[in-house]
Amino acid sequence: MINGVTATAGQTVEIEVAIGVGIINLSTLDSYEIQIDVANAENDIGRTRVVILDQVVVTVIVPTIFEFIVDGLATTTDVNGEATTGSTTDTAIPFGVLEAGTPKFMGQQLSVETNANNGFTVSVEQDAPLQSSFGADIDSFFDGTDEVSPSAWAPPDGQLANGALANDEDGWGHWGMTTEDGDINGTGPTFTSSNQYIAVLSTPTIVFGHNSVCDGTTTGAGTAADDDLCLTEVGYKVEITPLQEAGDDYTTNLMYIATPRF
């Protein structure tokens, strides 16, 4: 029953039901009658009815999109401030014949398209050292120390015997990698400029990442001084000294691991 409504015969009474005003909200699903007393000589009574129904649940499913692409780069392509000395494909980085004191530098392009809410990370690892069939290896940057903090490129030590190294041969040749993505969102090494390298390890190292959705094409200015959002380039550099053991089948396999973050 609603009190305090003044109306005369023939008038239309409009009732606006607001939360907490005049009518107690009922939680039980049912149909309820509302009685309206009209203050006139006839003491008319009107009735209306409200129905409380269950809530309507709206649901939506958005499928996950995640596409990771590796592409080769042509010779003289700038990767983090340095021009490549040879071309690559999506499945091969062929350094070819190495000459002592002459570094070689090659790269690949990485791109990610995803609608994962927190973006993605891309890491890289090698399955074994870069070595020949008879066990000689080109060590990790630099001089076999497995450098994980981006550092300026330095030639191998090149001494026949150096007591400061774990093994003398660690200083005869080494290789490392760089990335143009200067902001991996706190999940990997912090590259801040060109000519910075880390070791290629047998455990995953994050070299590319973003913290939101990506279109696979948005990139940065071409160096690690800024953040490459959805497309970047990574580079691999190798240099030997005259002491590096001969071999025509130095090989290792790289694996990229792209992971969405929800």
Tokens of 73: 């780069």
Burial, 236: exposed, middle or buried (Cβ in 10 Å; 0-12, 13-18, 19+)?
Answer: buried
- pLDDT tens column, 177-201: 999 999 887 778 999 999 999 999 9
What count of other Cβ atoms lies within 10 Å of the Cβ of residue 138?
25
pTM of the predicted structure, to 2 decimals: 0.81
pLDDT at 137: 97
Bond prior to 142 in cis (omega within 30° of 0) = yes
Task: For residues 147 and 150, give the distance between their C-alpha atoms in angstroms, rounded to a whole number.
Answer: 7
Query: Where do the DSSP E strands lie in 135-203?
Result: 137-140, 151-152, 173-179, 196-199
b/e map 152-174, b = 16+ CB within 10 Å:
ebebbbbeeebeebeeebbbbbb
pLDDT at 7: 65
pLDDT at 181: 95
- pLDDT tens column, 195-224: 999 999 999 999 999 999 999 999 998 899
pLDDT at 17: 55
Residues of the chain with pLDDT under 70: 1-9, 13-26, 37-44
pLDDT at 31: 85
DSSP per residue, 5-70 = ----TT-------BTTBSS----S-EEEEEEEE--STT--EEEEEEEE-PPPPP-------EEEEE
pLDDT at 256: 98
Task: For residues 104 and 85, give the distance between their C-alpha atoms in angstroms, rounded to a whole number.
Answer: 6
Closest by alpha carbon to 104, among 65, 138, 58, 148? 138
Task: For residues 107 and 102, give the distance between their C-alpha atoms in angstroms, rounded to a whole number.
Answer: 17
Sign of the four-CA dihedral 106, 130, 198, 71:
positive
* Distance from the first to the final alpha carbon of the chain: 53
